[in-house]
Amino acid sequence: MKEELEKLFGEALGNLKVAGEESQVTQVRTEFLGRKGKITALLRGLANVSPEQRPIVGRLANEIKLSLEEKIRESLASIQARKRKERLLHEKLDITLPGRRVPTGRKHPISEVCNEVIEIFLGLGFQISEGPEIESDYYNFEALNIPKDHPARDMHDTFYISDEILLRTHTSPVQIRLMEKQEPPIQIIAPGKVFRCDSDVSHTPMFHQVEGLMVGDNITFGDLKGILTIFLHEMFGAKTKVRFRPSFFPFTEPSAEVDIACVMCQGNGCRVCSSSGWMEILGAGMVDPEVFRIVGYNPNEVVGFAFGLGIERIAMLKYGISDIRLFFENDMRFLGQF
């Protein structure tokens, strides 16, 4: 009986090997293990086996049945796997067709750059402050040490609403408004729109500035250089060369213009930087004691610095834009590139 069992097992395995379809495999199961199957039929004769041989043959029969079941499952699994693979191969997509992309918009480049500037200063501990876009002559000029008949007013081509009310020409009035209502220490930036009556390739009657102010009892010109150098390195890369040179603003003293090595020619001199190798990027200085006196601080105790930078200018350098007016035409062919 042992021999017969092993022979049937061999026969079943042989059938499995050639079975290519699931039905052929299940047929093997029916033919050998089913109720009328060959192995089942053979095992009905187990009663006739001698009592000593019976457990041995029984165990063998069991092993063969389990083994055959296992082989049948494997066979089915491999046929199914093969068939799935064949099916998937038929379901191939043209994966190079464009996706079902829901179009997204973009921030205006001015917002983008302004946010970048703000992020850097927030990281340095500055807070955001704001003020009105239409200002009084007092906040825009007089409190900033620019009296009515001062030639420094020539530096600002001002739009007037009335003799005393105007469109702010810089974000500096925010300094005054803040210092009037808050004691030092102060560490703020003030982003916003400003206006000057000027219009050509490099001027628009409206543009954006970010003002900065840091006031305390122990702040130096060296600190001003430090903070602005960090900012410029964050903005334009750590290798950017920065220089500070003397200048004049009525509300700061000493005053400085800050230049970076020309981003177009890396400082070798080109048309963009008028061959100087440098580009003006912001104005800054130590707050003039007169301004402290005007807002009611004690100029002998309080020191601080202020700075102002033009967002459009930075955006133009960053993106290589030569005509500032593009920012306000809002042509999708322009906005779509950011």
Partner 1 sequence: MRASLNWLKEYVDIDLTPVELADVLTMAGLEVESVIKIEEDLSHVVVGKVLSIKSHPNADKLSLCQVSIGDGTFPVVCGARNMKVGDKVPLALEGALLPNSMKIRKAGIRGEPSEGMMCSEEELGIGEDASGIMILEDDLVLGMDIVSALNLEDHVFDLNITPNRPDCLSIAGLAREVAAVTGKALKIPSIEVREEDGRVHDLTSVDVRDPELCPRYSARLISDVAIGPAPFWIRRRLESVGVRPICNVVDVTNYVLMAFGQPLHAFDFDLLSEKRIVVKRAKDGDTFATLDGLERTLQGDALMICDGEKPVAIGGIMGGLNSEVSVTTSNVLIESAYFDPSNIRKTSKKLGLQTEASYRFERGVDPEGVINALNITTRMIADLCDGKVAQGIIDQYPSPFLPKEIPLSIRRTNKILGTSLEKERVGRYLKAIELDNKNLDRDKLIVRVPPLRVDLNREIDLIEEVARLNGYDNIPTTTPLARVTSGRRSSAWVAEDKVKDVLISLGYYEVVNYSFISPKLITSLGVDVNHPFHKFIRIKNPLSEEQSIMRTTLIPGLLRTMKTNVYNKNSDLKLFEIGTVFFPNEEDKLPIEKRMLSALVTGLRYVEAWNFSGDEIDYYDIKGSLENLFRALDIRGCNFSCAGDIPYLHPGKSSTIMIGDTQIGFVGEVHSEVLENHDLSKTAHIFEIDFDLLVKHAFSEKKINLLSKYPPIYRDMALIVKEDVQSIDIYDAIIGCNNSLVKEILVFDVYEGEPIASGEKSLAYRIKYQSFKRTLTDQEVNKAHKKLVSKVLEDMGARIR
**Could you say which of 102, 201, 296, 301 contacts partner 1 (CB under 8 A)?**
102
250: amino acid identity, one letter: P
DSSP3 helix / strand / coil % (the chain, rounded to 5): 45, 20, 35
Give 59 or 150: the residue with its C-beta nearer to partner 1: 150
Of the candidate spans 17-25, 37-45, 66-74, 329-337, the one that interacts with partner 1 by CB under 8 A turns out to be 329-337
Assess contact for 121 and 231: CB atoms under 8 A: yes
Tell me how far, at minimum, the Cβ of 154 lies from partner 1, in Å: 7
User: Residues with Cβ < 8 Å from 314, sequence gap 6 or more?
Assistant: 113, 117, 235, 281
Of the candidate spans 30-38, 48-56, 63-71, 132-140, the one that interacts with partner 1 by CB under 8 A turns out to be 132-140
Of the candidate spans 6-14, 63-71, 200-208, 314-322, the one that interacts with partner 1 by CB under 8 A turns out to be 200-208
Binding to partner 1 by residue 8, rule CB under 8 A? no
CA pair distance 259, 268, nearest whole angstrom: 14
Give 230 or 265: the residue with its C-beta nearer to partner 1: 230
Binding to partner 1 by residue 326, rule CB under 8 A? no
**What's the token pair of residue 200?**
């050509």
Q: What is the largest CA-CA distance in the chain?
A: 131
| C-beta neighbour count of 107 within 10 angstroms | 12
Size of the site for partner 1 (CB under 8 A): 87
Give the per-residue contact string, 60-99, with partner 1 (x = CB under 8 A; - = no). Answer: -------------------------------------xxx
Q: Which of residues 224-253 bind partner 1 (CB under 8 A)?
A: 225-227, 229-230, 243-248, 253
Return the axis-axis angle of helices 221-236 and 311-319, rounded to nearest 10°. Answer: 40
| C-beta neighbour count of 251 within 10 angstroms | 23
E strands along the chain, which residues?
127-128, 134-136, 165-167, 186-195, 206-216, 242-249, 252-261, 278-287, 303-310
**What's the token pair of residue 123?**
């990281």
Give 10 or 185: the residue with its C-beta nearer to partner 1: 185
The residues pairing with 36 across neighbouring beta strands, listed in sequence order, are: none
Give 60 or 244: the residue with its C-beta nearer to partner 1: 244
CA pair distance 279, 35, nearest whole angstrom: 95
Give 26 or 159: the residue with its C-beta nearer to partner 1: 159
**Could you say which of 183, 185, 266, 298 contacts partner 1 (CB under 8 A)?**
185
Tell me how far, at minimum, the Cβ of 296 lies from partner 1, in Å: 18
**Could you say which of 134, 202, 268, 298 contacts partner 1 (CB under 8 A)?**
134
Q: Which of residues 28-67 bind partner 1 (CB under 8 A)?
A: none
Give the per-residue contact string, 143-172, with partner 1 (x = CB under 8 A; - = no). Answer: ------xxxx-xx---xxxx-xx-x-----
CA pair distance 127, 132, nearest whole angstrom: 17
Tell me how far, at minimum, the Cβ of 158 lies from partner 1, in Å: 8
Of the candidate spans 49-57, 59-67, 69-77, 101-109, the one that interacts with partner 1 by CB under 8 A turns out to be 101-109
127-128/186-195 β-pairing: parallel
Of the candidate spans 36-44, 52-60, 67-75, 203-211, the one that interacts with partner 1 by CB under 8 A turns out to be 203-211
293: amino acid identity, one letter: R
Q: Chain centroid to CA 7: how far?
A: 71
Of the candidate spans 5-13, 28-36, 58-66, 122-130, the one that interacts with partner 1 by CB under 8 A turns out to be 122-130
Assess contact for 326 and 334: CB atoms under 8 A: yes
Binding to partner 1 by residue 216, rule CB under 8 A? yes
CA pair distance 317, 310, nearest whole angstrom: 11
Q: Which of residues 252-311 bind partner 1 (CB under 8 A)?
A: 253-257, 274-276, 286, 288-289, 303
